Structure 1
Amino acid sequence: MSERPYAILHDAQGEPFGVFISAALWAEVQAEVLPVLMAAAGEQQQPEEVFPEPLGDWNDLAAFWDLPYPLDRTVACGQCGAASSDWQADEPRLFRLKACNLGGLARFECQRCRARVTKRHFKDGVKVQTVPFVE
Protein backbone atom coordinates (compact mmCIF):
# COMPACT_ATOMS: atom_id res chain seq x y z
CA MET A 1 0.00 0.00 0.00
CA SER A 2 1.34 3.44 -0.87
CA GLU A 3 1.92 6.19 1.64
CA ARG A 4 -0.74 8.82 2.30
CA PRO A 5 -0.38 11.93 0.12
CA TYR A 6 -0.38 14.14 3.24
CA ALA A 7 1.13 14.28 6.72
CA ILE A 8 0.01 16.20 9.81
CA LEU A 9 3.00 17.84 11.48
CA HIS A 10 3.21 18.06 15.29
CA ASP A 11 5.36 20.19 17.60
CA ALA A 12 7.45 18.90 20.52
CA GLN A 13 4.37 18.84 22.78
CA GLY A 14 2.43 16.74 20.27
CA GLU A 15 0.16 19.58 19.16
CA PRO A 16 -0.61 19.78 15.43
CA PHE A 17 0.92 22.86 13.81
CA GLY A 18 0.83 22.18 10.08
CA VAL A 19 0.06 19.87 7.21
CA PHE A 20 2.36 18.66 4.44
CA ILE A 21 0.74 17.50 1.20
CA SER A 22 2.31 15.92 -1.86
CA ALA A 23 2.66 17.80 -5.14
CA ALA A 24 0.14 15.46 -6.79
CA LEU A 25 -2.47 16.14 -4.11
CA TRP A 26 -1.76 19.88 -4.25
CA ALA A 27 -2.39 19.81 -8.02
CA GLU A 28 -5.83 18.30 -7.33
CA VAL A 29 -6.92 20.64 -4.51
CA GLN A 30 -5.06 23.89 -5.26
CA ALA A 31 -7.99 25.66 -6.92
CA GLU A 32 -10.22 25.06 -3.90
CA VAL A 33 -7.67 25.39 -1.10
CA LEU A 34 -5.53 28.34 -2.25
CA PRO A 35 -8.32 30.95 -1.93
CA VAL A 36 -9.05 29.74 1.62
CA LEU A 37 -5.36 29.93 2.58
CA MET A 38 -4.98 33.39 1.05
CA ALA A 39 -8.11 34.65 2.83
CA ALA A 40 -6.80 33.30 6.15
CA ALA A 41 -3.51 35.14 5.55
CA GLY A 42 -5.36 38.34 4.55
CA GLU A 43 -4.02 38.23 0.99
CA GLN A 44 -5.94 39.11 -2.14
CA GLN A 45 -5.79 36.63 -5.01
CA GLN A 46 -4.88 38.18 -8.33
CA PRO A 47 -7.33 37.06 -11.01
CA GLU A 48 -5.67 35.04 -13.75
CA GLU A 49 -5.99 36.46 -17.21
CA VAL A 50 -8.17 34.03 -19.14
CA PHE A 51 -7.97 34.09 -22.89
CA PRO A 52 -10.82 32.64 -24.94
CA GLU A 53 -10.33 29.24 -26.48
CA PRO A 54 -9.62 29.36 -30.23
CA LEU A 55 -12.73 27.31 -31.03
CA GLY A 56 -13.01 28.90 -34.47
CA ASP A 57 -9.61 27.43 -35.33
CA TRP A 58 -10.75 24.02 -34.04
CA ASN A 59 -13.92 24.25 -36.13
CA ASP A 60 -11.82 25.14 -39.20
CA LEU A 61 -9.58 22.12 -38.56
CA ALA A 62 -12.66 19.87 -38.30
CA ALA A 63 -14.30 21.40 -41.40
CA PHE A 64 -11.21 20.97 -43.61
CA TRP A 65 -10.16 17.61 -42.15
CA ASP A 66 -8.82 15.44 -45.00
CA LEU A 67 -6.66 12.87 -43.28
CA PRO A 68 -7.43 9.15 -43.72
CA TYR A 69 -8.59 8.71 -40.12
CA PRO A 70 -11.34 10.51 -38.15
CA LEU A 71 -10.54 13.61 -36.10
CA ASP A 72 -9.84 12.33 -32.59
CA ARG A 73 -11.47 14.32 -29.79
CA THR A 74 -9.84 12.33 -26.98
CA VAL A 75 -7.26 14.03 -24.81
CA ALA A 76 -5.19 12.43 -22.04
CA CYS A 77 -2.68 14.08 -19.73
CA GLY A 78 0.55 12.11 -19.41
CA GLN A 79 1.40 14.05 -16.26
CA CYS A 80 -1.56 13.52 -13.90
CA GLY A 81 -3.58 10.91 -15.80
CA ALA A 82 -6.68 13.02 -16.51
CA ALA A 83 -8.46 11.76 -19.63
CA SER A 84 -11.46 12.68 -21.74
CA SER A 85 -13.13 10.87 -24.62
CA ASP A 86 -14.46 14.21 -25.94
CA TRP A 87 -12.78 17.28 -24.47
CA GLN A 88 -15.54 19.63 -25.71
CA ALA A 89 -18.37 17.66 -24.10
CA ASP A 90 -16.91 17.55 -20.58
CA GLU A 91 -18.63 19.60 -17.91
CA PRO A 92 -16.63 20.92 -16.20
CA ARG A 93 -13.89 20.90 -18.80
CA LEU A 94 -10.89 18.68 -18.07
CA PHE A 95 -8.89 20.25 -20.90
CA ARG A 96 -8.87 23.74 -22.37
CA LEU A 97 -7.90 24.39 -25.98
CA LYS A 98 -4.91 26.74 -26.06
CA ALA A 99 -3.89 26.62 -29.74
CA CYS A 100 -5.01 24.98 -32.96
CA ASN A 101 -4.21 25.35 -36.65
CA LEU A 102 -5.05 23.88 -40.04
CA GLY A 103 -1.68 22.14 -40.12
CA GLY A 104 -3.05 19.62 -37.61
CA LEU A 105 -1.61 20.97 -34.36
CA ALA A 106 -3.90 21.09 -31.34
CA ARG A 107 -2.57 22.10 -27.92
CA PHE A 108 -4.55 21.69 -24.71
CA GLU A 109 -4.03 22.68 -21.07
CA CYS A 110 -4.93 20.12 -18.42
CA GLN A 111 -7.19 21.84 -15.90
CA ARG A 112 -6.03 19.52 -13.12
CA CYS A 113 -2.24 19.98 -13.27
CA ARG A 114 -1.87 22.69 -15.97
CA ALA A 115 0.39 20.50 -18.13
CA ARG A 116 0.33 21.13 -21.89
CA VAL A 117 -0.86 18.27 -24.09
CA THR A 118 0.09 18.68 -27.75
CA LYS A 119 -1.48 16.57 -30.47
CA ARG A 120 0.18 16.70 -33.88
CA HIS A 121 -1.91 15.12 -36.63
CA PHE A 122 0.12 13.61 -39.47
CA LYS A 123 -0.98 11.56 -42.48
CA ASP A 124 0.14 8.34 -40.80
CA GLY A 125 -1.21 9.07 -37.30
CA VAL A 126 -1.20 11.32 -34.26
CA LYS A 127 1.82 12.15 -32.11
CA VAL A 128 0.96 13.20 -28.54
CA GLN A 129 3.33 14.97 -26.16
CA THR A 130 2.75 16.14 -22.59
CA VAL A 131 4.92 18.86 -21.07
CA PRO A 132 4.60 19.54 -17.30
CA PHE A 133 3.53 23.00 -16.18
CA VAL A 134 6.39 25.32 -15.29
CA GLU A 135 5.70 28.46 -13.24
Structure 2
Amino acid sequence: MSDSSQLLYLTDARNHVLAVQIPWDIWRKIEPLARPALDALMEGVSEEPAEPLAAFEEFLRYWDFRYFYSPAVHCPHCGAATQDWREDPAHPFRLSNANLGGLLVFHCRACGATIRQKHFHDHVTVEHTAPRP
Protein backbone atom coordinates (compact mmCIF):
# COMPACT_ATOMS: atom_id res chain seq x y z
CA MET A 1 0.00 0.00 0.00
CA SER A 2 1.27 3.49 -0.89
CA ASP A 3 1.53 6.27 1.64
CA SER A 4 1.55 10.06 1.31
CA SER A 5 5.36 10.16 1.37
CA GLN A 6 5.22 8.81 -2.20
CA LEU A 7 3.39 11.91 -3.43
CA LEU A 8 5.46 14.37 -5.43
CA TYR A 9 4.30 17.99 -5.36
CA LEU A 10 5.34 20.10 -8.36
CA THR A 11 5.43 23.80 -7.45
CA ASP A 12 6.16 27.12 -9.13
CA ALA A 13 8.76 29.67 -7.98
CA ARG A 14 6.35 30.95 -5.30
CA ASN A 15 5.82 27.43 -3.98
CA HIS A 16 2.25 27.18 -5.27
CA VAL A 17 1.31 23.59 -6.10
CA LEU A 18 0.84 23.13 -9.85
CA ALA A 19 0.50 19.36 -9.92
CA VAL A 20 0.74 16.27 -7.76
CA GLN A 21 2.32 13.07 -9.00
CA ILE A 22 0.86 9.96 -7.42
CA PRO A 23 1.96 6.33 -7.51
CA TRP A 24 0.35 4.05 -10.08
CA ASP A 25 -1.34 1.83 -7.51
CA ILE A 26 -3.17 4.82 -6.03
CA TRP A 27 -4.19 6.08 -9.46
CA ARG A 28 -5.68 2.68 -10.37
CA LYS A 29 -7.91 2.93 -7.30
CA ILE A 30 -9.12 6.50 -7.79
CA GLU A 31 -9.30 6.66 -11.60
CA PRO A 32 -12.91 5.40 -11.81
CA LEU A 33 -13.94 8.26 -9.52
CA ALA A 34 -11.68 10.88 -11.09
CA ARG A 35 -12.21 10.05 -14.79
CA PRO A 36 -15.68 11.69 -15.16
CA ALA A 37 -14.37 14.92 -13.60
CA LEU A 38 -11.25 14.88 -15.80
CA ASP A 39 -13.33 14.25 -18.93
CA ALA A 40 -15.62 17.16 -18.00
CA LEU A 41 -12.62 19.45 -17.50
CA MET A 42 -11.17 18.46 -20.87
CA GLU A 43 -14.44 18.86 -22.77
CA GLY A 44 -14.09 21.66 -25.25
CA VAL A 45 -10.34 21.98 -24.70
CA SER A 46 -8.48 22.01 -27.99
CA GLU A 47 -5.61 19.55 -28.20
CA GLU A 48 -3.88 21.92 -30.60
CA PRO A 49 -2.23 24.86 -28.83
CA ALA A 50 -2.81 28.35 -30.19
CA GLU A 51 -0.43 29.66 -32.79
CA PRO A 52 2.18 32.04 -31.29
CA LEU A 53 0.86 35.05 -33.21
CA ALA A 54 2.13 37.57 -30.64
CA ALA A 55 5.67 36.23 -31.12
CA PHE A 56 5.20 36.40 -34.90
CA GLU A 57 4.01 40.03 -34.65
CA GLU A 58 7.07 40.83 -32.53
CA PHE A 59 9.25 39.18 -35.19
CA LEU A 60 7.65 41.43 -37.86
CA ARG A 61 7.83 44.55 -35.66
CA TYR A 62 11.60 44.29 -35.40
CA TRP A 63 12.10 43.13 -38.99
CA ASP A 64 15.06 45.07 -40.42
CA PHE A 65 16.51 42.65 -42.92
CA ARG A 66 17.59 43.47 -46.49
CA TYR A 67 14.52 41.84 -48.08
CA PHE A 68 10.76 41.92 -47.59
CA TYR A 69 9.11 39.25 -45.49
CA SER A 70 7.27 36.69 -47.62
CA PRO A 71 4.36 34.80 -46.02
CA ALA A 72 4.64 32.01 -48.61
CA VAL A 73 5.21 28.51 -47.20
CA HIS A 74 5.98 25.35 -49.15
CA CYS A 75 6.30 21.80 -47.85
CA PRO A 76 9.25 20.06 -49.51
CA HIS A 77 7.91 16.70 -48.30
CA CYS A 78 4.42 16.62 -49.87
CA GLY A 79 4.38 19.71 -52.07
CA ALA A 80 1.63 21.59 -50.22
CA ALA A 81 2.02 25.33 -50.67
CA THR A 82 0.41 28.68 -49.98
CA GLN A 83 1.28 32.23 -50.96
CA ASP A 84 0.22 33.52 -47.53
CA TRP A 85 -0.11 31.15 -44.57
CA ARG A 86 -1.91 33.88 -42.59
CA GLU A 87 -4.68 34.56 -45.13
CA ASP A 88 -5.20 31.19 -46.84
CA PRO A 89 -8.73 29.99 -45.93
CA ALA A 90 -7.55 26.36 -45.94
CA HIS A 91 -4.74 27.29 -43.51
CA PRO A 92 -2.50 24.47 -44.80
CA PHE A 93 0.34 25.39 -42.45
CA ARG A 94 0.17 25.98 -38.72
CA LEU A 95 2.71 28.29 -37.09
CA SER A 96 4.21 26.52 -34.09
CA ASN A 97 7.14 28.80 -33.24
CA ALA A 98 8.34 32.31 -34.03
CA ASN A 99 11.20 34.24 -32.50
CA LEU A 100 13.26 37.38 -32.88
CA GLY A 101 16.23 35.30 -33.98
CA GLY A 102 14.49 34.86 -37.33
CA LEU A 103 13.17 31.33 -36.89
CA LEU A 104 9.64 30.51 -38.01
CA VAL A 105 8.47 26.91 -37.62
CA PHE A 106 5.39 25.56 -39.36
CA HIS A 107 3.62 22.21 -39.39
CA CYS A 108 2.13 21.00 -42.65
CA ARG A 109 -1.49 19.98 -42.14
CA ALA A 110 -1.40 17.75 -45.22
CA CYS A 111 1.44 15.44 -44.20
CA GLY A 112 2.60 16.52 -40.73
CA ALA A 113 6.10 17.60 -41.79
CA THR A 114 7.87 20.38 -39.92
CA ILE A 115 9.08 23.31 -42.03
CA ARG A 116 11.66 25.68 -40.57
CA GLN A 117 12.26 29.05 -42.18
CA LYS A 118 15.52 30.53 -40.95
CA HIS A 119 15.66 34.25 -41.74
CA PHE A 120 19.16 35.69 -41.96
CA HIS A 121 19.95 39.33 -42.73
CA ASP A 122 20.47 38.67 -46.44
CA HIS A 123 18.64 35.40 -47.17
CA VAL A 124 16.20 32.75 -45.97
CA THR A 125 16.93 29.05 -45.73
CA VAL A 126 14.22 26.43 -45.48
CA GLU A 127 14.69 23.07 -43.79
CA HIS A 128 12.14 20.39 -43.15
CA THR A 129 11.71 17.23 -41.15
CA ALA A 130 9.51 14.48 -42.54
CA PRO A 131 6.51 13.47 -40.45
CA ARG A 132 6.80 10.58 -38.04
CA PRO A 133 5.57 7.31 -39.52
Q: TM-score over 0.5 for the alignment? A: yes
By how many angstroms is 1:49 displaced?
1.7
What is the aligned partner in structure 2 of residue 58 from structure 1?
A: 56
The residue type equivalent to 2:96 in the other structure is K
The residue type equivalent to 2:92 in the other structure is L
What TM-score comes out, normalization by structure 2 length?
0.64
Counterpart of 2:106 (choices 105, 108, 117) is 108
Quick one: percent identity of the two aligned structures?
37
By how many angstroms is 1:130 displaced?
1.3
What is the aligned partner in structure 1 of residue 124 from structure 2?
A: 126
Distance in 2 separating the partners of 1:73 and 1:57: 15
What TM-score comes out, normalization by structure 1 length?
0.63
Cα distance change on mapping 1:80 and 1:48 into 2, 3 Å: farther
- In structure 1, the residue corresponding to 2:95 is in which secondary structure? strand
- Alpha-carbon deviations, 1:38-70, whole Å to 9, x = none? xxxxxxxxx972100000011111111000101
- Alpha-carbon deviations, 1:70-114, whole Å to 9, x = none? 111110000000001100001120100000001100000000001
Counterpart of 1:84 (choices 82, 85, 89) is 82
How many residue pairs get aligned? The number is: 89
The residue type equivalent to 1:107 in the other structure is V
- In structure 1, the residue corresponding to 2:60 is in which secondary structure? helix
- Alpha-carbon deviations, 1:19-42, whole Å to 9, x = none? xxxxxxxxxxxxxxxxxxxxxxxx
Q: What RMSD in Å do the two structures reach over aligned CA positions?
A: 1.4
Distance in 2 separating the partners of 1:56 and 1:114: 23
Gaps of 5+ in 2: 1-44
